[in-house]
Amino acid sequence: MAATTPSTQPKPVRHSQRGLVIWHGMRIREFRKLLNIGAELHWSQTHKIIPTLFMTAHNSFWNMVEMARFAKKIEQTEIQPPIFVLGHWRSGTTLLHNLMTLDERYTYPNMYQCIFPHHFLTTEKVMSKLTGWLIPKIRPMDNMKTGWDLPQEDEFALLNMTTYSPYRNLAFQGHRERYAGYFDLKNIPEQERQAWKEALILFMKKLTIRNPKPIILKSPSHTYRIEILHEMFPDAKFVYIHRHPYDILRSTLHMRSTMFETNALCKVNLDRHEELIYQAFEECVQTYEADKKLIPEGNLHEVKFEDLEKDILGNMQNIYNNLSLPDFSEVQPKIEAYVAGIKEYKKNVFPTDPALADVVNNRMKFALEKYGYDPVK
């Protein structure tokens, strides 16, 4: 891997989300909470702010309708032991989630449900059809396919239901102290921790009402949260995917600037952009490695992205075997068809950055050694 291009100050890259921003799933209550603790708005983002204000009223109304219709059923619903897909952002969690959710013996949260967790039981059937044009065909950060009905990370739902998520950083750009505690949730106030747990349970109960099967959830933030997830779901199973730290960090730098640009309601602030990503990566790996011992034997499988990419079928079969999941042969034809369908997928390509290579070879040496990766040359 030859070093050819020096590190440069990141610049926000504009991508079209066709008007959709992450805040469109909040109620008035949650959006007001963000404003009360200092979320910044700027006139240059008026084209995002005005629709967001409209959507908070929309979501508040339909949430009242939904709870009037489903409160009793939600209370009576039992959640089956879930599967959590773990891994740092850009480590291959989306690919792995997409593969695992091909199995119709399981269910998963889709994009509509994650963006509109307050009322999807009531509105999804009609509104997802009417608003499908709002969704870009590919994700702006990595060219992966998107759509209302495709698997999505539940972190968006938790953000919109509680604000207690590291994705708060999109509202507090440049203020890590206002979102850092929501990675692992270990040191936040007990009231917030309890509210987060109740929100996850509520969201999962609603998913179960929609489709009464075990849920496969994917959120990179959950990689920090084995402690609380095991406390809540002692029989849960976990799949952890890791990738060469250089590839993760290089891609995360691109993703973060894209997300900040497309979802900002304030002036885009990329101060300390690289350092904050390095810090989050270190904490992610260290927290996961410290807490994975809490998971009972037989309930955790680890996979290397590079191995998965080379042999998807073989590695998926290993996941099923090692976690004692149902008969793999039932889902094998769907996985084979999926693999055939992604042969034309093109990854973003970036030249090797010597400054980033130096960070990986030195500061992230612990991760190279832990997961058996060679230094960047």
The verdict on pTM exceeding 0.95 is: no
Q: Count CA within 13 A, CB hemisphere, residue 72.
A: 2
What is the pLDDT at residue 13? Answer: 43
What is the pLDDT at residue 140? Answer: 53
Q: Specify whether the CB–CB gap between 279 and 126 falls below 8 A.
A: no
Say how far apart CA 208 and CA 219 lie, in whole Å: 18
Say how far apart CA 364 and CA 327 lie, in whole Å: 39
Q: Specify whether the CB–CB gap between 224 and 284 falls below 8 A.
A: yes
What is the pLDDT at residue 272? Answer: 85
- List the CATH code of the domain at 22-371: 3.40.50.300
Domain definitions of the chain by residue range: 22-371
Q: Specify whether the CB–CB gap between 224 and 283 falls below 8 A.
A: yes
What is the pLDDT at residue 10? Answer: 45
CA torsion through residues 159, 160, 162, 163, sign: positive
Run of H or E residues at 241: strand 237-242
- Block means of pLDDT (10 residues each) for the chain, length 377 residues? 38 52 96 92 92 96 98 98 98 97 98 97 92 65 70 97 95 86 97 98 98 98 98 98 97 90 88 92 98 98 97 98 97 95 70 93 98 95
Say how far apart CA 249 and CA 272 lie, in whole Å: 14
